[in-house]
Structure 1
Amino acid sequence: MLQRPRRRCEGTAMGAIVLDLRPGLGIGPFSLGMPICDAFAQIEQQPTIYDVVHVKYYDEEPLKLDIVISFPDHGFHLRFDPWSQRLRLIEIFDVKRLQMRYASSLIGGPSTLATFVDVYALFGPTFPGIYDKGRGIYTVLYPGLSFAFPIPSQYTECCHDREAELPLEFPDGTTPVTCRVSIYDSSTDSKVGVGSLMEKACAPPLAVGSLYMEEVHVKLGEELWFTVGGQHIPFGASPQDVWTELGRPCGIHQKQVDQMVIHSASDPRPRTTLCVDYFYNYFTRGLDILFDGQTHKIKKFVLHTNYPGHADFNSYMKCNFVVYTSDFGGSFHRDENTSKRTITPSTKWEQVKAILGDCGRAAIQTQGSTSNPFGSTFVYGYQNVAFEVMKNGYIATVTLFQS
């Protein structure tokens, strides 16, 4: 697991922030379903509040566990689905560090205990909660929201069944205090906010017509096809064609140096030769398009997977590409047989080699050793396509060109 702390800003009072609690929707500026890039944008906009941030992920198998953005000073974290990179679950794990506002009332924080009595008074009656005898935790469920209460051992007799009523107060007059608050999509299973069932919490469905995680189908050496909008972008298309099909790019920049020209026997120019080619950057689509500076025609596409552990993580949203191999029959329809011969962001390098064959040694790409803490990547080339592969065997980028 990797943790990336941010520098603390002096003078920030730990635990002093107040965030609006929106059951089933989110907390503060963080909304369920938001892409991880949008969450980072919110953090960057308020650096004095979110001044210590840890990013955690499973480096060896990045699709196996959530990507987590944690705020240790404020006692909560955001859990993102590792495939879609959308926020699926918000957990307040230290209620004393975060004060929440619901309607016009406050709950939690360093000066206000979030007791069972307070929760019941603020959110109203609900169905009997669920008691986990093994963990000694009683969970109260509301739509899209759950509160977990530890039950002292001397009072476990109050809860015999999995679904059990719990008095607002124990026999000695005390009341349990919330140890964890969970916020999840209210359209999921009503009991998803309990214990191990948290793993079933899903990001809410995308809006109809949303371009996020749109499948981009690739016919090697020919074109891209965008499945939601139906656009076809072939090699050789002009900037005007791309603007018409995809809209205004997020950025445009000139390619400063053609570093690969040294590998071309037909081009004797020195490696430092300035290049007049230029990129259109579509960060929200996870896509770069390279135009020839003289002909102004598309010569390359670069597709980004946005995996944590890569130097470009959080620079692009994830491109949900489907690369069809050279035996592609001409139709973009996928069936069981063609799916075995396609390459997607979840395809590991060993699987790519099984599909395309061994291509020999890789070129090493460092991305600048001083600015890149994640180490080198490896670039493998085939006819019409090159794969940049991370040390864990996952694809970082796919570069498409015409041989």
Structure 2
Amino acid sequence: MQAQRSPAMVGGGAAAVGSPSPATVPVRRRCEGTAMGAITLDLRPGNGVGPFTLGMPISDAFVQIENQPNLYDVVHVKYFDEEPLKLDFVISFPDHGFHLRFDPWSQRLRLIEIYDVKRLQLRYAKSLIGGPSTLATFANVYDLFGPTFPGLYDKERGIYTLFYPGLSFAFPIPSQYTNLFINGEVAELPLEFPDGTTPVTCRVCIYDCSTDSKVGVGSLMDKAVVPALPAGSLYMEEVHAKLGEEILFTIGGQNIPFGASPQDVWTELGRPCGIHQKQVDQMVIHSASDPRPRTTLCGDYFYNYFSRGIDILFDGQVYSISSHYGVWSSKVMFFSKAQNTC
């Protein structure tokens, strides 16, 4: 597995925005761009594509990717390095022509953007559209998904967007045919140019339709929202911290005091997602202010609860949550499933 630096943000085939980020780009068995054929994913308007569901945490998306390494073997992870909470966190599949856009605060999937329909074939109601063999033309889209209200024409971009609940299709319109549009709407459906041709989809967006927002290219992309969490969900659970004493989980009701043993934590929070040895700072041996023996530093370890967004540091000498060196961390970016707040 190789790693390389990646542009900070993506625009679906457009130039990257921002400075380079430290995100790694796993490349598993082949070089990007080598042909492997278009894949076919089920399209669920307003819900998702294939294994990726709107509202899913970013950690769940990575699980899906890792479970199918032969399918998703070239993956780019991109974000805005200078202000990571300002722009979307993006998982991109360049060989398959689509992005997963995650809200940077909640790290939940808000928009699926297919920017190269020729690379990804979609299955809907037992019919196929897209890919190299089935063009996603305006006529084909109209035949497959049925009639809908007239779309919107973006004169500046030369793009006409057709909207369905939780789904939109963008079509490039040649400048010589702008007279087909009246006040931004097409005069007749299904759209066909005077020469008998019909435009081909250049972008597909799948988004939550609970707000009745029309999501498409340009500024319309910002209207995609993260679906509401189910009642009682532990995701984004509020956590109350009493410094030096304990933390309380408001939904689950767990109470974790400092000094608790690994068995106590296991009983309250369940099996940890991982257990890792604390890295040793080699310079700490020169610090006279460190009161603990060197052997203690080497034995400290973490319980990782990715599902709750926290790490728990245990003292390797007394095997309890360290009060002097204990770290309760709310993993906000690119690491955890939840963003706990204190």
* Equivalent residue for 1:4, pick from 24, 28, 37: 24
Counterpart in 1 of 2:287? 263
What is the one-letter code of the residue matched to 1:172?
D
SS of equivalent to 1:321 = coil
Query: Per-residue CA shift, 1:136-169, capped at 9, x if unaligned?
Result: 2111110100001111112111112134444322
Counterpart in 1 of 2:183? 161
**TM-superposed deviation, 1:276:** 4.0
User: Does the CA-based 8 Å contact 1:137-1:151 persist in structure 2?
Assistant: yes
Tell me whether 1:209 sits opposite 2:232 in the alignment. yes
* Equivalent residue for 1:219, pick from 204, 220, 242: 242
User: Does the CA-based 8 Å contact 2:105-2:332 persist in structure 1?
Assistant: no
User: Does the CA-based 8 Å contact 2:247-2:256 persist in structure 1?
Assistant: yes
* Equivalent residue for 1:56, pick from 78, 81, 85: 78
Aligned partners of 1:80 and 1:264: how far apart in 2? 45
User: Does the CA-based 8 Å contact 1:35-1:87 persist in structure 2?
Assistant: yes
* Equivalent residue for 2:92, pick from 70, 73, 86: 70
**TM-superposed deviation, 1:129:** 1.0
Q: 1:248 to 1:57 in 2, by over 3 A?
A: same
Aligned partners of 2:196 and 2:292: how far apart in 1? 86
With CA pairs under 8 Å and 6+ residues apart, which has the higher RCO, 1 or 2? 2
User: Does the CA-based 8 Å contact 1:303-1:321 persist in structure 2?
Assistant: no
SS of equivalent to 2:182 = coil
What is the one-letter code of the residue matched to 2:54?
L
Pairs within 5 Å for 1:351-362: none
Q: Return 3-12 or 195-204, whichever deviates more.
A: 3-12
Aligned partners of 2:292 and 2:255: how far apart in 1? 35
Query: Per-residue CA shift, 1:275-304, capped at 9, x if unaligned?
Result: 444432212112122233454432123314
**TM-superposed deviation, 1:15:** 4.2
**TM-superposed deviation, 1:19:** 0.9
Tell me whether 1:249 sits opposite 2:269 in the alignment. no
Counterpart in 2 of 1:317? 337
SS of equivalent to 1:119 = helix
Aligned partners of 1:283 and 1:195: how far apart in 2? 34
Tell me whether 1:297 sits opposite 2:320 in the alignment. yes
Report % sequence identity: 72
SS of equivalent to 1:154 = helix
User: Does the CA-based 8 Å contact 1:184-1:193 persist in structure 2?
Assistant: no
Aligned partners of 1:268 and 1:61: how far apart in 2? 37
Tell me whether 1:129 sits opposite 2:151 in the alignment. yes
* Equivalent residue for 1:22, pick from 23, 36, 44: 44
What is the one-letter code of the residue matched to 2:221?
M
Q: Could you tell me which runs of 5 or more consecutive residues in structure 1 were left unpaired when the two chains were aligned.
A: 308-312, 323-403
Q: 1:15 to 1:64 in 2, by over 3 A?
A: farther
SS of equivalent to 1:320 = coil
User: Does the CA-based 8 Å contact 1:128-1:140 persist in structure 2?
Assistant: yes
Aligned partners of 1:254 and 1:172: how far apart in 2? 68
Query: Per-residue CA shift, 1:225-272, capped at 9, x if unaligned?
Result: 212223222212233432332222223355575865653546484x46
Counterpart in 2 of 1:285? 308
**TM-superposed deviation, 1:177:** 0.9
Tell me whether 1:239 sits opposite 2:262 in the alignment. yes
SS of equivalent to 1:148 = strand
SS of equivalent to 2:110 = strand
Q: 1:256 to 1:164 in 2, by over 3 A?
A: closer
TM-score (norm 2): 0.83
User: Does the CA-based 8 Å contact 1:261-1:267 persist in structure 2?
Assistant: no
Q: 1:320 to 1:28 in 2, by over 3 A?
A: same
Query: Per-residue CA shift, 1:180-201, capped at 9, x if unaligned?
Result: 1000012123323354121021
Query: Per-residue CA shift, 1:16-46, capped at 9, x if unaligned?
Result: 2111111111111111111111111211222
Q: Please, what is the CA RMSD of the aligned residues?
A: 2.5
- Equivalent residue pairs, number: 315
TM-score (norm 1): 0.72
Counterpart in 1 of 2:13? none
